[in-house]
Amino acid sequence: SQQGEEDPQALSIQEGENATMNCSYKTSINNLQWYRQNSGRGLVHLILIRSNEREKHSGRLRVTLDTSKKSSSLLITASRAADTASYFCATANQGGKLIFGQGTELSVKP
Amino acid sequence: GAVVSQHPSWVICKSGTSVKIECRSLDFQATTMFWYRQFPKQSLMLMATSNEGSKATYEQGVEKDKFLINHASLTLSTLTVTSAHPEDSSFYICSAVPTGSSQYGYTFGSGTRLTVV
């Protein structure tokens, strides 16, 4: 399978709570990226973390990367109803191919 | 920022016909574009890598004669689903990488929902 694993597959939280999504991958990488997809729409790039980085922040987003465990996590703090979407991690290898994880469907209830 | 335009956004076609989907980089040149397919409630599956001026590279299990890719210019790649069948109904998304850039966040088109009846 070309895909890595993401968990949870679905996450439902209340507005204001934090949401944590995890991603594992299988091969060596140059970088790992997180994307957001609203239902039936294209993807929006959220954040990229390079293989030599361990943590990165962007606004309410915090991403960690553990290359020894081949895993990453995305934390969304102080979630809002507008954060409701599917979130995917994707890894880029030397050849430039972007391979996506299975995704986490996040539902933030007002 | 970089913008990728994908057209059409949705299309309905009859079984046996062919459908062409365009992926265009609007404000940058893209030597390489990627085509993905996404079934409902599933992730994106890479179908092929489109390279300007050369043949596309297909992922294992993707029929190159069924999914024809043409990348004739630095701003346009097309995916043609030939002899479409209902099982080809899916969401097709392209992405593009600016020529000469290192591998930062890729820009995605808004996708094409194909329904074959």
* Cβ within 8 Å, pair B49-A101: no
- Using the predicted structure, report yes or no on whether residue A1 has a pLDDT greater than 60: no
Q: Best of B5, B31, B43, B62 to disrupt the A interface by mutation (most A CBs within 10 Å)?
A: B43
Give the pLDDT of residue B61.
Answer: 94
Q: Cα distance from A105 to chain B (closest Cα, Å)?
A: 9
Distance, in Å, from the CA atom of A78 to the CA atom of A58, rounded to the nearest integer, reads 13
More confident residue, A92 or A11: A11
* A57 and B CB contact within 8 Å: no
Instruction: Beginning with the edge strand found earlier in the chain, give each strand of the sheet holding A55-58 in spatial order.
Output: A5-7, A19-24, A71-76, A61-66, A55-58
Q: Cα distance from B58 to chain A (closest Cα, Å)?
A: 11
* Cβ within 8 Å, pair B43-A3: yes
Distance, in Å, from the CA atom of A37 to the CA atom of A108, rounded to the nearest integer, reads 14
* A72 and B CB contact within 8 Å: no
Per-residue pLDDT tens digits for B17-60:
999 999 999 988 888 899 999 998 889 999 999 988 889 999 99
* Cβ within 8 Å, pair A43-B105: no
Per-residue pLDDT tens digits for A3-35:
567 788 899 999 999 999 999 998 888 889 999
Q: Cα distance from A56 to chain B (closest Cα, Å)?
A: 14
> What share of chain B has pLDDT > 70, as a percent?
95
More confident residue, A49 or A95: A49
* Cβ within 8 Å, pair B106-A100: no
Distance, in Å, from the CA atom of A37 to the CA atom of B55, rounded to the nearest integer, reads 30
